[in-house]
A and B are shown apart, each in its own frame.
Chain A
Amino acid sequence: MQKDSILRATDPDEWLESHGDALFRFAMKHLHDSASAEDVVQETLLAALQTWDRFAGNASERTWLTSILKHKIADLIHKQSRESPFENDVQDSHGNPAACLFDQRGEWVVPQRAWGDPDAMYEQNRFWEAFTCCYDGLSPKLATAFSLREFSGFSIDELCEILNISSSNCSVILYRARLALKACLESGWFDNTIREGVS
C-alpha cells in the first residue's frame, strides 16, 4: 500500500499538460530562444520529480514549479555569462539610452509626460503589445538583466552573482534597460494614446 501511494503521488505528464506551456512562456521571456527554453522546462520537471517528496504542498504546484524554473534559468544565464561577459557591455557606450535623453548638463532633452493611471493602463491589451514590442527591442544583455530582476524577482545581489558583474555595473545595466523601455513606450504607445485622446 505504501509503495503504491508513493508511485501514485506524481504524474509528470500531468505537470507537463497543466504547466508546461506557462513555464515555457516564462522561460522564453528570459532566454529568447525556444531550444534553451525547452531545455530548462525539461530540467525543471526532472528536478521536480526528484524533489517531489520534499514539496510540502504549501504553495500551489505552479508556484513551486516556477520557483524551480527561475533557478534553472539563472543557472543557464550564469553559465552563458562566462562565455560572453556582461562586463564588456557596460564599458560600451553604445546602447546607452541616456546619451540621447539628456543634454550635457544632465537635463531632459524631451519633456516628461504623465502616463495616467497605471492600473487602467495595465488593463489595456495595446499597452502590453507595446510593452512586448519595446521589451523585445532591448539589447539582449539589457533584456536578460531586466528579466531576472523584474520577472524572476532576484535581488540586486543575486543578479550581480548570476551575471558575474559588480553591483554598480548591475545598477547601470538595469538603469539603461528601464530608460530604454520608458523612451520606447513614450514614443510608441503613449504618442498614439495621446493622439487618439484615449489617455
Chain B
Amino acid sequence: MKINISCQEASQLVSRQIDQQLSLMDSVRLRAHLLICKACPVMHRNLKAIHQAGLKYAFRDEAKGGGASGLSPEAKGRISGTLRQEKGDRDAERLKE
C-alpha cells in the first residue's frame, strides 16, 4: 500500500479532515507527509485558520455583496405586514377555541 503522498494529496486530506474523520490509512499517510514535508505543515495551519475564520465570519456584521447591511425599509414594511396578518389570523383562531 502506498504511504507516500504528494503535497496536493496532503492538502486534499487536510480539507477532508476538517469535515469528517479520515480512514486510518489516510490519517497515517497525512501524518507521515506532514513530518517529512516543510511546506505542508504551514498549509495545514492555514487551511484550519480558514475553517475557523468561516465560523466567525458567519455572524460578523460586514455587509456582503452590494453593500446591503440590513433589510431595506421597504422589505421591513412588507415583512411586518405579512407577519401582522399572520398573527392576526392566528390570534383570531385561538380566541375562537
Contact = CB atoms under 8 A, between A and B. Distances in A.
Contacts of A45: 79, 83
Contact of B83 (A16, A98, A122, A171): A16
Interface stretch (A83-91, A145-153, A191-199): A145-153
Nearest to B77: A16
Nearest to B65: A32
Contacts, number: 172
Contact of A7 (B50, B57, B91): B91
Interface string B36-64: 00011011011101111111111111111
Contact of B45 (A114, A132, A152, A156): A114
Interface string B76-90: 101110111011001
A3 B93 CA distance: 11
Nearest to A3: B95
11 contacts: A12-B84, A24-B70, A25-B61, A38-B71, A98-B11, A101-B8, A112-B40, A118-B52, A135-B64, A151-B58, A153-B55
Interface of B: 6-9, 11-12, 15-16, 18-20, 39-40, 42-43, 45-47, 49-66, 68-72, 75-76, 78-80, 82-84, 86-87, 90-91, 94-95
